[in-house]
Structure formats: C-alpha cells, structure tokens
Structure 1
C-alpha cells in the first residue's frame, strides 16, 4: 500500500484546511478545545455548514446526496476536523442509520428519511442496549407485537446517547419471542413524539446527561417503519455495528489528542522541567504514536474495503479494540502530563484571588475526557466480546 499522498490528495487537504479556517466558528472550536459541553444548536449549526458545502455525509453515494469521497479523502477530512477542534458529526443518522437504509431500506424509506437526515429535520438516536442486553445485545427484550398496520412496542432502552435531543430513534425489537435470539429481532424506526415514550436522563459523574433511558409503553409504530424484513433485524444490526465500531476507533480524535499531550508535556505547567524531557515519558509517547500510525494505516484499508461495497468484517472489531486502547492511553498520558491541573476545578473558586487558573487549552478538559472515555472499550460491543469475535473468525471457530 502506498502511504504517500498524491498531489490531488495534498491539494484536497489544503482545501479542507482552508474551509475549516473560513467556516468553522472560532467560538465553536474554542468550546470543543476547552472540553465544554456542546448544546444541540452547536451540533446543528455545524451540520448545516457542512451540508451547505456538500460535505456532511462523506461516505454516502452522490445519488443519496453524499460527497462520495474515497477512503483517503475521508481520512484527511476527519484528521483535519479533529486537529481544528471541529465538533464531531453526530453519527446516529449519518454514519449508522444512513448506510442501513441505503442497503436494506425500501425506496420510499430512502426517499423520505435520507434527505431529512441531511437537512437536519430529524435528529436520530440509537435504541440498541437494554438493561442486561448490552454486549450481549441478542438477548434484548423490548418487544413489538403486530396489530394490523402497526406494531405495539413495550420495553426499555438504556445508554441512549443524546436521546434528549432526538425526535427519532431506530430500535432493535423482539418480534418473535419463540425464535432463536438473533432470528426473532426486527429493525424499527420510531417517532419519539409518539404517545407512550418517556426519556429519562442518566446523570454522569461530571454532572452532564449525555445518555438516557428510553421507556416504551404501548407505543404504536406503523408497519411502514419496519426496515427490511420482519425478524431479519440482526442482519441489519451487524451491518450497522461494523460501521459504528470503525467510527469508535477515532483515528482523528487520537491524533488531535496526541498533539495535545505533546503540547502539555512540552510546557512547564508543573513549574519544573518539561515532562517531555523525561526519557520514560517520551518513550511512552513514542510508542503510542507508533501504534497510532499503524492503526491509521489499518483504518484506511478497512474504509477502502467499505468504499468498494463490502461491509467491514472482523477487521472492524480489530480496529475497535486497538483504537479504543490507544485513545485511553492518550487520555492517561494527558492526565499524567497535566499533573494536578488535570483535576476538575471550579473557576469561581479562584476568582478574585492570585491563584493561577490552568490553561484551558492545555489541561482544562483532561479529567473529563479521561473518565468519560473509559466507556470506549465497553460500548459498541465490549473489547472482550470483540476479541471473542476475532478469535472465532480467524482461528476457525475457536471457543
């Protein structure tokens, strides 16, 4: 594989960088860089800017309104966005549901839902995990019983990220309780405004409510909102999860995070010699950087496979495991580099005193990111489950 960029790809990087410098609002990138919680309007505003440029859906075919970029272009775009501290593109509609509808949805579903994802009319969330059915997703119990032209849905979903903003949710539901676990699941599109749906926030350690519980009580869902065939939802879920796991790897986020670690380690934030001069710490940074370079190459190979019309297979599990480990290692290095400044602090506690505030561009978000990103090795299928998938797939059915 040729790892050098062509002249066209170098020109594309310049175009992306210029676009970000011109169109990314400084106050928005400042919030991202400082680790502040983004409001719904922040995400929607950035999505609208990208959509106006035609860059909101890099992986979608042009026939569906996407940019239809190749793997290298997407890699460059994600890299530059992370380095510029652009808000993440919320993945649920664009990177998860969109590809599923394009491959398995009806023409009517594609014509209705895909444009609404792009223009921001719908904010989607994901209804997969349940209490007792997280990594073992096939054991889900949220049930949908068909009555005429509707399904009646009862049950619960949990860890629903940004569900408090969503007006739509795509759900895995059990439509045949007597079938084998994976064979009795269907994929439904549900309007969050339907009577019988309740969203309950889950307050995290940092005080934010990024995730939620969603309860369904006799919720009526039109049969027209069934994607594909009844009881075939596990096939569609697996297809979606391969895309989700590739996204979780977060190559661009890791590259930006590593740059931040170097920036902190080169400073004299602790009042002594820069930590980068410590051979042991410098060696740890070097090892993570080598691993990240290798993962970046793997990511390009997997995305190229997807671009050729093939769903990523076991490679997406490999990338998810390695990618989340690297991101957590970078968070740990940032925490160590920032020292006491990595601790959460209340700015009002030092106002009016001579106590110096830590530089928010260097250390402000370190603690929040460290604790929040412990989840990376769990959601999207825990790393333990991914290792089992890798072993069974590559070792010929090993138990």
Structure 2
C-alpha cells in the first residue's frame, strides 16, 4: 500500500511489544498521524500503561474503552444462544472478540477523520481475515494496513532489534525465544506457538492461567443454579447480575474446579492446521446450562433444527463473517427459538466436569403425565401401533423390491 495514500490510521493497540513496534513502524513508514485504540474485553491486564506508552511515542488521540458489558451482551450471549462450537469442541473465544474491536476501530476512524485502520495479526492466522472482513463490512471504503504482510521484521530477533533501536521497552520475558503467545478476554484465554507448536508434545502445566488442574480441584462438588430469561443467563444462585459480571463469576467457579481446558488441533480458515490451548471455564458451564434449559423448553423440531444450523453458524464466526447477512439470518432464527427459554438449571461442578442435575421452567414442555411408567389417562399406547406401521411402510416396500 502506498504511504502517500494514507493520512491517518487507527491502530488496534494493546501496549505490548508487537503493537508498540507496529506503532513506531507506522509513524516511520506512513509518516502520518496514528490514533491508538485499546479495548478492555476482560483480558485481566492493567490498560493504563498502554496510554503511557502511546504518549511516549507522541500519540495525541488515545482511546481506551471498557467494552466488557457490550462484549458479553451483544456478542458472547447471542453466540451462546446458538450453542456454537467449532469442529465439535471449540467455544470460539478469540473469534467472537474480533468483530467488536473492528467495529470500534471503524467508528473511531469516522469520529477522528482517519482514513485507515491497522491490526497486528500475522499473515498466517485467522485474525487478519476476521478483522478485515469486519472492517470492509462496516466501511467498504476504509483502507487497511497489515504490517505483518508488509514489513521485513519476520523474526523475534528482528523485532527486538527494531525495538531497541527505537527505545521501545522490551519486557525481560520477551528477549530471546518467547515460550508461547497469549490472547485473552472475558470468555477465554488462547495460547499458541513455540512450546505448543508440536502437537506430539504435551502442553506444559505453566501454560494454563485461569484453571487449576482437574486432579487438584476440590474433592467436594460445587453446586450452582443459573437462571435464564429468553435464552440468556441472568442470575447465579438467585442473584441477578449484568452479563459481564455473571460470566466473570462463572469463570471463577469454573477455574476453581478445573473446568474448561482444551488442547486442540484446529483447521484454520487460511488452510493450515494449528494447535491451540484454550481455557473457557465460564463458557463451558454456560453452554451446559443453556442446553439444559433448552432441553425442557424447546420443541423437538426447533431443537434439532438449531443443532443442524449450529455448525454453519459457528463456522461463520470462526471465519470472520459476523457482519454477514447469512450470520444475521441465522441469528434471527436462533433468537426466535429462545422466546420461552426461561427458567433455572442446577449444575454440579467437579474436577473438570459439569453436570446438569435439575432443570425447571414455567414454559416447560416436559409432561410427567405423558412420560410416566405408571398408569396414566392421557396417552393411549395402542396409538403407537399405527404410528409405527406408517413409518415402516416405505421400509417394507424397499425390502420387497430389493429382496
């Protein structure tokens, strides 16, 4: 991209080594104003140092925003209404954060008169796709700067040398070979690279940050009750909480019971396989609870259709199509199914496992009168004979033809 085409850039800025290097590189390469945007998505880090580092590098417009409630309310909860998991197991913790960061970058660009946005994702990963598809969906005329696809700082040694040359502080643990990279938000932590690159080698214990090992969890189970309203969790043990507060509480409960660890080799959208180690303690509990309340409130047809749609919905999020019309169409169908998904689910948390033990709802479709093994007056078992005959008809015809 020609530098003279860009006048002002909004950078997604964490304040860490990579984005601090990107900030300086943008100033040198594009000779333009840079606006920094740092989002608090519950990553558990102090963000004020990001402001101080940006000020040292001469940045005049610095945005640091607490987006935790918006993140959980408008992104995490809609995704959990779908029970979305990628490739059968991954709860999409990194994927779901990218649309919100992208949206705020585009909004800040409009507010500050910037004509470009910049992210720090590498040219090998999914995040570059997620960021840029979101940018273009929200502003088709925005310019995008992706340093990892432009510069020649393609090794840790070159990055550190550039940082030292430009008086950018290098944390002690970032000198030489970093053990692994971490992305975190209120939903999960994601660890990749270095010591985790060989899937034949077990993940070292020190990689885990939010959960204790299941074997070290308490010997006494923890029971909790989660309340739902229209498909969203609203309370824990009768105490109503905001979305972000509730997820944070579930993270604490799950982490203390060794819940939510995942060591996964996944298929990236760009075509390669990668190994990631994820911790999603609160999300793992939330998924089990949501499926528990749906089990008594959703009609069979609606429940099975949701399960049919879910892999497609999850893949759209993983691949970066949150703002696509097809994701919005699926969301509308999913949300329509949640009208009566209201009630309470009690779960047992124990040494890495989550088990639903009770569920109740004022909109329950469960009829003890119909399902009982005792004598009843509402179901004539003889009706099943005709039901079976009709369903068997085509099978009998096939068997006679093929016999």
Give the TM-score normalised by the residue count of structure 2.
Answer: 0.26
Greater per-residue helix proportion: 1
Flag the structure with more relative contact order, 1 or 2, with Cα contacts below 8 A and sequence separation at least 6.
2
Give the TM-score normalised by the residue count of structure 1.
Answer: 0.26
Rg (Cα) greater in structure = 2
